Amino acid sequence: GENVEQHPSTLSVQEGDSAVIKCTYSDSASNYFPWYKQELGKRPQLIIDIRSNVGEKKDQRIAVTLNKTAKHFSLHITETQPEDSAVYFCAASGSSASKIIFGSGTRLSIRP
Amino acid sequence: GAGVSQSPSNKVTEKGKDVELRCDPISGHTALYWYRQSLGQGLEFLIYFQGNSAPDKSGLPSDRFSAERTGGSVSTLTIQRTQQEDSAVYLCASSSYGQDYEQYFGPGTRLTVT
C-alpha cells in the first residue's frame, strides 16, 4: 500500500525567509497530492494541491512541486509571516477507490 | 452553506463503555472519511465511505471499531469497550467525489477514556 514520509518534523524559520517541506510517496499510481494546514486547536484545511499531470503549481506565496520519477513533492512558502505558523500535512492519493495517506506532519514556527 | 459538523464536540467515557460519534457531511458530498488524531500527532486514516459503502476499512485499529453510513449522508463511528488508548480527537471529513478531491474537515470530537 501507499506510504508517505514527510520531513522535517519541525521547522523554525525567520519571518520573511522561505520554508520548504518535503514528502516522498511509494505508490507510483498515486495521482493527487494535497497539502493541508492545521492551526493550533483547529481543523485541517486545504491550502494547495497538485495532480500528477502537473509539475508545479503556485498560489501567491505558496508553491508545490512534484517529481513523479523520484516520487517526491514539496511545499514552498516564501516571505513567511507569523500566521504561517501551523502544522502542515502532505498526502497522496490514487484512484477514488484507494485510501488517501497523510504524512506525519511538519510543525512550522515563524520567528519574529 | 453549512460545513461538516460532528457531535458531540467532547465526550468523556469510562473504560469499557461503548461510544458513538456522529458526522454530518456537507450536503451532496458522496465521500466521507474518518480520521483519528492523537495529541500532537498526525492524521490516522480509519475508514472511507463512497456513498453508503466502505471500499477500505483497513484503517480501523481493531474489531472494537465500526462505522456505518446511511442514506449517503450521516455517518456514525462506534467504539465498543473503549480503552484508554482510544483517547484522541476523531475527525470526519467529506469531499464531493472521491479521494482525489479536497476534503472538508469537521471540528472533531475529543474523546477521553478514563
B43 → closest Cβ in A45, A97, A102:
A102
CA–CA dist A20, B89 (Å, integer): 28
The per-residue pLDDT for A52 is 83
CA–CA dist A74, A48 (Å, integer): 11
Maximum alpha-carbon separation in chain A = 44
The per-residue pLDDT for B41 is 84
Cβ of B100 and A89 within 8 Å? no
> What DSSP character marks residue A16?
T
Cβ of A89 and B45 within 8 Å? no
The pLDDT tens digits of the residues spanning A79-112 come to 999 999 999 999 998 655 567 889 999 999 999 9
Most confident of A101-105, B55-59, B110-114: B110-114
Q: Which of A93, A76, A109 is nearest to A3 (CA)?
A: A93
The per-residue pLDDT for B96 is 87
Q: In a mutagenesis test of the A interface, which of B100, B101, B102, B105 is the best target, namely the one with the most A β-carbons within 10 Å?
A: B100
Count A/B contacts: CB-CB distance under 8 Å: 67
Cβ of B42 and A100 within 8 Å? no
Say if residues A107 and A9 touch (Cβ distance below 8 Å): yes
Residue identified by cell 514539496 is A74
Cβ of A98 and B99 within 8 Å? yes
Worst-scoring range by mean pLDDT, A35-44, A89-98, B77-86?
A89-98
* Burial of B82 per CB tally in 10 Å (0-12, 13-18, 19+): buried
Residue of B nearest to A46 (CA): B102
CA–CA dist A15, A37 (Å, integer): 18
Cβ of B97 and A96 within 8 Å? yes
Q: For B81, left (φ over 0), alpha (ψ -120 to 50), or beta?
A: left
Chain A hits for B99, CB-CB cut-off 8 Å, are 32, 93-100
Collapsing DSSP states into helix, strand and coil, what is residue B32? strand
pLDDT over threshold 70, residue A34: yes
